[in-house]
Structure 1
């Protein structure tokens, strides 16, 4: 059976049909790939994968039911640095959207807020032409949000000058991280630069970690 044969995949929750999913035969598990600006939640025995540069991903799950998911987002920029006013207005609303939509989908699928835990990844300073403030503000926002929502941060791997591949298994809570080599960091930078521009346009209009 081919890896792109959708018949081998468990049914996605309503609303997530457009998320790229495939069978990872090496891990023998269905994999959902989350791109910048996307999120994915599942009740199935699945894994979720994303590639991060300066963006941040938060993995959230109900620790008893194993219902969980992952997002991938960045606070909006103006030009090459953060606009101080947008941090408390449009930027914060965008970050809230990324977090609240993920959490609400988990709760809608049967997860319980009091049982949620989170793991946080990304926020690497991988853009040579941008201030480290880009990454720092993303990390700060996420950690403050989770603190204010009383969601325990079980683990985090953030900051530094590295890009990351993150694989998350909501059923068990296992998170795997692989650091990117410089050539891959360059590819991630290009993808996230396009993402930065797109979100700026939209805003202006409106248990542990395993290395592998």
Structure 2
């Protein structure tokens, strides 16, 4: 490989790769995380919904990955995969840091219909998205930006700071 080609490849890789000192929080279904400015929150969504809560200056971000709208069917299910439990866990994380959750702003993503041939009208993703938007409205949390519905998987990446979260469609 020529020296100029090697430099071009290295430069392209440097643009895509996160900085080695960057702390990355990768959320899986049912997880909740907190990050400070400069740290990164990331997840992959299908019919699930991710909620990011942040302050007006974007100095922190709390994110959850909700699998099921509504409450658990069985009392012993206390997983943050369920919407109310995920939002309560986010509240607890924020309150422990002296942050009032209802003063936060939200980004909301996901809620895709991953099986449109089986659910042509109302899908699990539609239910999840509707529930999350209603729950945030009931709490008085303003939604800054949302990307919901459709028939695509989404990769969500946000480096806590002034820039908006980055969402890309993923083919599976």
Q: Specify if TM > 0.5.
A: yes
Deviations 1:127-181 (A, max 9, x none): 3575242111100100000000000000000000011000123333520000011
TM-score, normalised to structure 1, is: 0.62
Change (3 A) 1:111 1:169: farther
Measure, in 1, the Cα distance between the counterparts of 2:24 and 2:164. Answer: 14
Q: How many residues are treated as equivalent by the alignment?
A: 147
Residue pair 1:69, 1:102 contacting (<8 A) in 2 also: yes
Measure, in 2, the Cα distance between the counterparts of 1:130 and 1:98. Answer: 28
User: Quick check: 1:134 aligned with 2:124?
Assistant: yes
Measure, in 2, the Cα distance between the counterparts of 1:130 and 1:150. Answer: 35
Measure, in 2, the Cα distance between the counterparts of 1:180 and 1:64. Answer: 30
* SS of equivalent to 1:103: helix
User: Quick check: 1:99 aligned with 2:87?
Assistant: yes
1:160 matched to which residue of 2?
150
Task: Tell me the CA shift for residue 60 of structure 1.
Answer: 0.7
User: Quick check: 1:61 aligned with 2:42?
Assistant: no
Measure, in 1, the Cα distance between the counterparts of 2:99 and 2:160. Answer: 12
Stretches of structure 2 that go unaligned for 5 or more consecutive residues are: 1-14
Deviations 1:97-128 (A, max 9, x none): 11121132123223233530000000111135
Residue pair 1:43, 1:109 contacting (<8 A) in 2 also: no
**Higher Rg:** 2
User: Quick check: 1:146 aligned with 2:136?
Assistant: yes
TM-score, normalised to structure 2, is: 0.75
Measure, in 1, the Cα distance between the counterparts of 2:159 and 2:108. Answer: 14
RMSD: 2.4
User: Quick check: 1:115 aligned with 2:103?
Assistant: yes
Match of 1:72 among 47, 65, 72: 65
User: Quick check: 1:52 aligned with 2:15?
Assistant: no
Measure, in 1, the Cα distance between the counterparts of 2:144 and 2:124. Answer: 24
